[in-house]
Amino acid sequence: MFPAAPLTVLLSLALTSGLASAAQTVRIASYNLRYDSQPDSITVQQSLDNLPDPLQAPTYYGKKGEQPWSTRRIKVYQNLNNEGIILAGFQEALVRQVTDLATLFGDGWGWVGVGRDDGVAAGEFSPIFYKKSDVQLVSNDSFWLSNTPFEPSKFPGAGSFRICTATSLVLKSGPAAPVHFTYLNTHLDDQSDDQRRLAASMMLVRARYEAYKTGGPVIITGDFNSPATGTDSGAYQIITGQIAPVAVNATFAAKYAVPNATLPDFKVLDLKAETPREYVSGEYATYTGFTAPGDGSVYTRIDFVYGGSNGKWTADAYRVGTSLTDDGVLASDHRPVFADITLH
């Protein structure tokens, strides 16, 4: 059980019983789904119809390695559905995966995002899903983490086109409502550290602008394809303000400039470090590959949840879940990351 669940329950009770509360907790998930590398024509309904008898013990660890999305998708959904999330940022989602999750989450959820290869539906999305009863979408856009941010494009030397999905949202419920906040979701390059540094610098520019414009909280989730320390950690160090950003496209910089002396030292904070340690739980690694459990040679923490240094939020709980079930199926080669964030 997620340690902060009782807190959320208490908060909900407090709200429904009319007690005063100045803030509202948002549970957010970041989950790299692993792209649909073994496509087939099995429908979501067929996957649902073929779910095994839940009272029957599986063949323990009977399955090995990567399974098709049609096998993984119900597990991805189940890994999120019972967690009380109201926001989710995914990575590596091909259009089929986006629409499958939209089907599974149902009409109560909305989503935004575009395929990174053409700005429509080609290539992987970094989509943002939101629960409509709790969150209202004000606006959304996408920009490319390249030298030409406003057109589908690839940074020289990068393995793929890379995109950031940006949303302006309003938290609808709670006595402090409406709380206007910003949520950005992304997936940085796996091959080019220069791309990751540029991307982190661009995200910082955009996040600072949103903090300035809305005065509200800014949340970022992403697969940074690089850890928080070591030789590949430039993106993390830039976005968390430990080293200076690199120069970004001038058109982009001008569009998201803030007046002088506004938020001069803006950066983002790693919510895992901002959460009281007693409420940091679950696993350490967020990437496991499709390897045997406990293969420390591939396990790394490369998926993050951040909050803007302009504040207006409190990190209440942080948990890295698991993608592995007893049948041996890994829902993804990453694990879901959950954060409970109170917005003020």
Using the rule CB under 6 A, is 43 a contact of ligand NAG?
no
When the beta carbons of 136 and 281 are compared against ligand NAG, the nearer one is: 136
Per CB under 6 A, the list member of 49, 107, 151, 278 interacting with ligand NAG is 151
Residues 6+ apart with CB under 8 A from 150: 143, 144, 251, 252
CB of 222 to ligand NAG, least distance (A): 19
Residue 189 CB partners (closer than 8 Å, separation 6+): 145, 155, 158, 159, 160, 162, 195, 196, 199, 225
Binding to ligand NAG (CB under 6 A) within 291-330 occurs at: none
For the bound state, the minimum distance from the C-beta of residue 98 to ligand NAG, rounded and expressed in Å, comes to: 12
Tell me the per-residue interface mask from 129 to 148 with ligand NAG, x by CB under 6 A, - otherwise: --------x--x------xx
CA distances from 197 to 125, 150, 153, 239 (A): 20, 18, 16, 9
Q: Which residues pair with 130 in a beta bridge?
A: 87, 110
Q: Is 241 in the site for ligand NAG (CB under 6 A)?
A: no
Smaller CB distance to ligand NAG: residue 20 or 254? 254
Residue closer to ligand NAG, measured from CB, 135 or 179: 135
Contacts of 82 (CB under 8 A, 6+ apart): none
Q: Residues 255-294: x/- map of binding to ligand NAG (CB under 6 A)?
A: ----xx----------------------------------
* DSSP string covering 130-150: EETTTEEEEEEEEEESSSSTT
Query: Shortest gap between Cβ of 273 and ligand NAG (angstroms)?
Result: 32
In degrees and rounded to multiples of 5, residue 155 shows phi and psi of -70, 135
Collapsing DSSP to helix, strand or coil, 274 comes out as helix
Considering only residues 32, 67, 79, 249, which one is a binding residue for ligand NAG as defined by CB under 6 A? 249
Find the shortest distance in angstroms from Cβ 95 to ligand NAG: 15
Contact at 8 Å (CB) between 244 and 238?
A: yes
Position among 4, 101, 112, 163 found at the interface with ligand NAG (CB under 6 A): 112
Q: How far is the CB of 51 from ligand NAG (least distance, A)?
A: 30
Cα maximum dimension of the chain = 64
Q: How far is the CB of 266 from ligand NAG (least distance, A)?
A: 16
Beta-sheet pairing, 24-32 with 87-91: parallel
Nearest to 210 by CA among 246, 257, 162: 257
Give the residue among 51, 2, 172, 29 at the shortest CA–CA distance from 105. Answer: 29
| Contact string (CB under 6 A) for ligand NAG, positions 64-103, x = contact | ----------------------------------------
Separation CA 251–CA 253 (nearest Å)? 5
The least distance separating ligand NAG from the CB of residue 192, rounded to whole angstroms, comes to 17
Q: Which residues bind ligand NAG (CB under 6 A)?
A: 110, 112, 137, 140, 147-151, 249, 251, 259-260
